[in-house]
């Protein structure tokens, strides 16, 4: 597996205007989520597996669960990298503050700024395949989307409809006043992340299957995925990483290591316009949170993609 190398890392500060807060009218799918205070127990509790009926619906839900945790092997026609849905939505899509399915399903249909339209939940899943999985969208009425939708619906049983449930997404981690530092992020990565994800972000494999996901390179999420945003990655990292030790990194460390990870090349944004990184940045990335796509860092243009 080959990875692009980069010039020495330096301090990069992003201006606050690139990280303007989105309102509900801007994007209903990206509402800022607040974490529940430590010790609070009011997170929604999805149903347990033993509560699932042994009928046609239960069979479909189980198929959706299987696809969710083993996406790459069970939907190879639609997955173009080494990831599964459960890599970003932990504990089989159940874990609060890890974009759990029970928090997402009741919020759709919703307007998404990303594609400037009201999306159904099926379309939201299709987007995950296209960007996070660097693949192609399964048919909205096909067996994959149907099964995954059934699994999400079942996890959301009795969840409030259209209500911003605590723990729904990745709780916002405010950008530190000094911005972020890629060199410090490299040190955090070496100390906290490399043991699972590898020195070069390559992940870990057993045979042909990843047991720890790659964070950059050809088998990771592409430049169109939400996780390429440094603010999104920082939120996920602080609340969920290192695995089983969420909240052990402070805000600065989370932003630094998120920036370090997202300063490395990955598959190209499938929305690339006329082969131009500049045009693609202006249309899709300039106002999409904090990200490095189309920026030059230490003389290296970020966003060239893996060829």
Contacts with 305 (C-beta within 8 Å, 6 or more apart), sequence order? 222, 223, 265, 266, 267, 268, 269, 272
Query: What does the mean pLDDT of the chain come to?
Result: 89
Beta partners for residue 117, in sequence order: 112
Beta partners for residue 111, in sequence order: 118
Nearest to 103 by CA among 172, 30, 53, 19: 30
> Which pLDDT band, with edges at 50, 70 and 90, does 40 fall under?
low
User: Is 50 exceeded by the pLDDT of residue 168?
Assistant: yes
> Which pLDDT band, with edges at 50, 70 and 90, does 307 fall under?
confident
> Phi/psi of residue 112, each to 5°?
-125, 125
> Which pLDDT band, with edges at 50, 70 and 90, does 115 fall under?
confident
- pLDDT reported for residue 41: 57
- Residue 107 near residue 162 (C-beta atoms within 8 A): yes
- pLDDT reported for residue 16: 32
- Residue 169 near residue 259 (C-beta atoms within 8 A): no
| Higher-scoring residue by pLDDT: 288, 6 | 288
Tens-digit pLDDT profile for residues 196-224:
999 999 999 999 999 999 999 999 999 99
Domains of the chain: 11-22+171-301 (1.10.760.10), 45-155 (1.10.760.10)
DSSP state letters, 109-156: SEEETTTTEEEPHHHHHHHHHHTTSSS-PPPTTSHHHHHHHHHHHHHT
User: Is 60 exceeded by the pLDDT of residue 244?
Assistant: yes
Per-position b or e across 265-289, b if 16+ CB within 10 A of its CB: bbbbbebbeeeebeebbeebbeebb
């Amino acid at each position: 597996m080959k990875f692009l190398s980069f010039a020495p890392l330096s301090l990069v500060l992003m201006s606050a205007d690139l990280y303007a807060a989105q309102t509900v009218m801007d994007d209903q799918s990206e509402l800022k989520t607040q974490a529940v205070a430590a010790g609070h127990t009011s997170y929604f509790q999805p149903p347990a597996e033993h509560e699932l009926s042994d009928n046609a619906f239960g069979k479909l839900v189980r198929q959706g669960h299987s696809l969710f945790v083993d996406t790459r092997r069970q939907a190879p026609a639609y997955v173009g990298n080494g990831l599964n849905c459960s890599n970003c939505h932990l504990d089989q899509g159940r874990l609060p503050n890890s974009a759990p399915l029970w928090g997402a399903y009741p919020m759709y249909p919703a307007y998404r700024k990303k594609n400037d339209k009201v999306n159904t939940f099926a379309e939201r899943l299709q987007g995950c395949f296209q960007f996070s999985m660097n693949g192609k969208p399964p048919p909205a009425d096909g067996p994959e989307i149907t099964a995954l939708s059934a699994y999400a619906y079942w996890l959301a049983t009795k969840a409030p409809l259209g209500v911003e449930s605590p723990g729904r997404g990745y709780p916002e981690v405010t950008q530190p006043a000094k911005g972020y530092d890629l060199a410090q992020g490299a040190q955090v990565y070496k100390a906290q992340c490399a043991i699972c994800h590898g020195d070069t972000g390559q992940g870990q494999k057993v045979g042909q299957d990843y047991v720890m996901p790659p964070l950059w390179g050809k088998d990771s999420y592409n430049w169109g995925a939400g996780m390429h945003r440094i603010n999104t990655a920082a939120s996920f990292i602080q609340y969920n990483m290192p695995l089983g030790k969420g909240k052990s990194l402070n805000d600065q460390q989370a932003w630094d290591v998120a920036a370090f990870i997202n300063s490395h090349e990955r598959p190209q944004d499938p929305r690339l316009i006329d082969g131009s990184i500049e045009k693609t940045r202006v249309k899709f990335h300039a106002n999409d949170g904090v990200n490095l796509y189309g920026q030059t860092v230490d003389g290296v243009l970020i966003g060239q993609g893996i060829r």
